[in-house]
Amino acid sequence: MTAKKDGESGLDRILTLEIVRVTERAAVAAAHLRGRGDEKEADQVAVDAMRQELNKLPIDGRVVIGEGERDEAPMLYIGEEVGIGKGPEVDIALDPLEGTTICAKNLPNSLAVIAVAEKDSLLYAPDVYMEKIAIGPGFPAGTVSLDATPTDNITAVAKAKGVPVGEVTACILDRPRHARMIEEVRATGAAIRLIGDGDVAGVIHTTDPDETGIDIYMGIGGAPEGVLAAAALRCIGGQMEGRLQLNTEEKIARARTMGIEDPNKVYSMDEMASGDVVFAATGVTDGNMLSGVKFARDAIVTHTIVMRSSSRTVREIKARHQDLGKFD
Q: Is 124 within 8 Å of 261 (Cβ atoms)?
A: no
> Can you tell me the distance from the alpha carbon of 90 to that of 31, in angstroms, rounded to the nearest whole number?
28
Nearer to ligand VTB, 61 or 99 (CB): 99
User: Given its phi and psi angles, is residue 85 left (phi above 0), alpha (psi -120 to 50 degrees) or beta?
Assistant: left
126 belongs to the binding site for ligand VTB (CB under 6 A): no
DSSP 41: H
Shortest distance, position 23 Cβ to ligand VTB, whole Å: 16
Chain positions 157 to 176 lying near ligand VTB, rule: CB under 6 A, are: 173, 175
Residue of 24, 43, 91, 225 interacting with ligand VTB (CB under 6 A): 225
Contacts by residues 293-299 (CB-CB < 8 Å, ≥ 24 positions apart) = 293/27, 293/28, 293/31, 295/31, 298/322, 299/324
- DSSP characters for 53-68? HHTTSS-EEEEEESSS
Q: Is 113 within 8 Å of 95 (Cβ atoms)?
A: yes
Chain positions 94 to 123 lying near ligand VTB, rule: CB under 6 A, are: 98-99
Nearer to ligand VTB, 16 or 207 (CB): 207
Look at residues 130, 45, 102 and name the one whose alpha carbon lies nearest to residue 290. Answer: 102
Torsion from C-alpha of 171, 176, 178, 180, nearest 10 degrees: 130
Shortest distance, position 254 Cβ to ligand VTB, whole Å: 17
Contact region for ligand VTB (CB under 6 A) — 3-11, 79-87, 118-126, 219-227? 219-227
66 belongs to the binding site for ligand VTB (CB under 6 A): no
Residue of 66, 83, 221, 275 interacting with ligand VTB (CB under 6 A): 221
Contact region for ligand VTB (CB under 6 A) — 65-73, 162-170, 194-202, 274-282? 194-202
199 belongs to the binding site for ligand VTB (CB under 6 A): yes
Pairing of strands 129-135, 239-244: antiparallel
Residue of 43, 197, 241, 276 interacting with ligand VTB (CB under 6 A): 197
- Binding residues for ligand VTB, rule: CB under 6 A, are 98-99, 173, 175, 197-200, 221-222, 225
